[in-house]
Amino acid sequence: MHEILPPTLKHEDVSAPQYLLPAELDFYQAYSWCLNPHLTVRETIEYLRGEIDRFEIVPDGWQTGEVATNVFLLSCALLNAVDEYLRGPTLRMPRQLAALRVGRGARRATDKLEDILWHRRRARVRRWRERWQSALDDFLSVVVAGEAADPASFDERGSKVAKMLQSPLPPDLQAEHIGVPTPFRRLDLTHLDFLALGQNFIRRFPDRFQAILLLGVRTSGSYFAPLLRALLEAEGYQTVSSLTVQPNKGLGRWECRELKRCAQRGCTVLILDDAPHTAGTILLTFDICRRVGFGPGKLKALVPTHAERRNWFRSLPDNSVVSLEPEQWHKHRLLDPKVAERRLAEYFESRNFVSARLVASSRVKDLNARLDGLLSDERSARLKRIYEVQLQTPQGQIETRYVLAKSVGWGWLGYHAFLAGHRLAGFVPQMLGLRDGILYMEWFPQRAGAPDGNEERKERIETSASYVAARIRFLNLGANAVPSKGLQRHQNGLQLLEKVLSKAYGRLVTDTLMRPRLQRRLCELPCPIPTLIDGNMGRTEWIVGPQGLLKTDYEHHGMGKAELNVIDPAYDLAETILNMALSPEEESRLIRRYVEESGDIGVEQRLFINKLLAGLWAMISAQNQLFGKPRVTDRQQEFHQRFMSAWNFLTVHTARLCGSYCRPLLEPRWSSPFVALDIDGVLDRRLFGFPCTTAEILVAVVHRLE
């Protein structure tokens, strides 16, 4: 099935047919809920029940494997939410203060008070967790068996998990949001990689009688600990227990007791986390374990290594790290040309080609080198590769096409990419399919970039407006996507606005006191059409296809642990205005076209706050690159230019907003005498991180007009 855009949403290539495999289309279309990864615990329970029921109806093969992966992911998400609930809120303070004795004492006192107030409710939840862990262990024993497992076992063990879901959890816990696991959404990891890590540990430390504590660092560790526990028990390890902690919050009283108990028993601690960026969290966890009584020889880390951080463990003792090199990751092997050729043959044979063969040409090598050169944040950049494919028709003719294979997530955390690629057909490169977390799409080699002419610029503006409008119709998240209470921890965009705008009230104390009020105001901002936004409308994210412009990277910048998680399409318009440096006339054309095709008549009232967010996010992103990994001069200059463009954008558009309040407008003219002064902190201040008109000047102008 191919959804057709309404008559108002015109695009040259929108009617192009999609030759998707019926099996993939039938499977992924049942997962519209995956567009929003920030589920509540209540929603997680509902979808987990649905996945367990699907074992009875999906075909054996890759579909059963996907459902099993989803049950694993949703079950561990629920486990993580319960552990966070049991830990409870902690006293927030600067990291330097938290490390001091007075900071640790204040946190312990707060935790003790929390335990007293919520002891009975948490005791019930802790008992539920123990039963849940047992049911999950039973299910994961089948997952660990892999291909040797009987498919019917998934249904049998899944039913035991489903029975546990009948026990109600407290309403306040059900209203909490689950954490999005970075390894399975952004870092190209799979649960198979952590099974491989476990096998590496088994080969190096084969003593089955050593007592082991699997210490997961939340959020990622909540997924790894149950999985490795099932593996080690299946491999004959006699005593395996698990616990998860959030090191940056400090240990809760119950967590501290459990760690001390395991230290007294002489357990070996295996610290579990995803591929580290700085290894700071791993080092902090080592320090916590030493303080509760574990000796240096009893501490080990089981952590995969990212290609951009190969030496992360240099500061750790020898023989304390078990890792998995990036070349050994499951998805790296899936992108091997021999493996990819078999998958692409399946896709192209369904399009009436008799064969598909990959060619290792100098051109495709150059395309991949150019693709790697565009990466701005190497750690969070998705694993991707371009292939040159020679296709043979039934008549013996040879055609050459290019295909981009891109990692988009694992299990349900990647299905949004298929849904977006299917629903946005005509605005994005034609999709071939999604399998094993790899999205395959047609690619069109581009010539070296040249400035747009007038007609090309006009087309880019109109296509951008139509594209944003199309996302409203096809990627609508529904009213439930708007939180009903306060700022949620995943709302990075609104939290950034809260932090910046609070500076208007002073520093240190007053800005902190005003943040709750700002939170309420930000949560009240209207969002009539919650949408999975693009979140990255840069010029380099567009390519030219046979029928016009096509948007790339359309699926993974809108939602995620490190993304803004804004759901207002006005943000994409604001980013377009920023990245294209639109004049007021061009901006009006963009908005007019968007409103015509979307019906979002109130977008202009929401535009400035999104311009502010787009500019701030661009400045922060550029700063992170400028002061991060050393780069060649050209890339440094590029990020410096991005920072200054965002700075100028914020300065100009804020000045326009302030000027719009000064009515009536005076006809600009010279008068004598004319004196120009720039008094620091009077005409403008860098209160919000960029030059902005002060309140004193606005008052003076208003008085002048009166």
What confidence tens digit (pLDDT) does each residue in 657-683 have? 887 877 666 676 777 777 776 667 666
Judge whether 182-325 and 454-482+527-660 match in fold: no
Question: What digits encode the pLDDT tens for the residues 45-88?
Answer: 999 999 999 999 999 899 999 999 999 999 999 999 999 999 88
Question: What digits encode the pLDDT tens for the residues 181-223?
Answer: 999 999 999 999 999 999 999 999 999 999 999 999 999 999 9
pLDDT > 80? residue 238: yes
pLDDT > 70? residue 12: no
pLDDT > 70? residue 230: yes
Average of pLDDT values for 226-244?
96
d(CA 72, CA 69): 5
Of 435, 419, 440, 416, the closest CA to residue 556 belongs to: 416
Average of pLDDT values for 123-135?
92
Of 53-67, 253-267, 575-589, 670-684, where does mean pLDDT reach its minimum?
A: 670-684
Of 22-31, 104-113, 651-660, where does mean pLDDT reach its minimum?
A: 104-113
Helix (H) or strand (E) holding 245: strand 240-245
Residue with tokens 């862990």: 133
What is the pLDDT at residue 664? 61
Considering only the top CATH level, what class is 454-482+527-660? Answer: alpha beta
Tell me the percentage of the chain whose pLDDT exceeds 70.
Answer: 86
Question: What digits encode the pLDDT tens for the residues 95-117?
Answer: 555 666 766 666 666 666 666 65
Per CATH, the number for 182-325 is 3.40.50.2020
d(CA 258, CA 233): 20
Q: Which residue has the higher pLDDT, 323 or 147?
A: 323
What is the pLDDT at residue 197? 96
Q: Please report, for the chain, the start and end positions of each structural domain, with discontinuous segments joined by +.
A: 31-180, 182-325, 335-443, 454-482+527-660, 668-706
- Which residue type, as a one-letter code, is found at position 542? W
What is the pLDDT at residue 409? 96
Of 403, 474, 398, the closest CA to residue 432 belongs to: 403
Rounded to two decimals, the pTM is 0.90
Reduced to 3 states, what is the DSSP secondary structure of residue 662?
coil
In terms of Cβ atoms closer than 10 Å to its own Cβ (0-12, 13-18, 19+), residue 401 is middle
Of 263-267, 298-302, 304-308, 378-382, where does mean pLDDT reach its minimum?
A: 378-382
DSSP bridge partners of 544: 549
Rg of the chain over CA atoms, in angstroms?
Answer: 27
Residue with tokens 């080092």: 283
Question: What digits encode the pLDDT tens for the residues 141-184?
Answer: 999 988 666 777 888 889 889 999 998 899 999 999 998 999 99
Where helices occur in 29-100 by DSSP H, the ranges are 41-54, 62-87, 95-99
What is the pLDDT at residue 106? 67
Strand 355-359 with 398-407, pairing: unpaired
- Taking residue 156's Cβ as centre, other Cβ atoms within 10 Å add up to 13
Query: 2 falls in which pLDDT band (50, 70, 90)?
Result: very low
pLDDT > 90? residue 651: yes
Q: 305-312 — which CB contacts under 8 Å span 24+ positions?
A: 305/275, 306/187, 306/275, 306/276, 306/277, 306/379, 307/378, 308/378, 308/379, 308/629, 309/275, 309/276, 309/277, 309/279, 309/379, 312/276, 312/278, 312/279, 312/282
Q: Which residue has the higher pLDDT, 658 or 571?
A: 571
d(CA 246, CA 251): 7
Residue with tokens 């999604």: 434
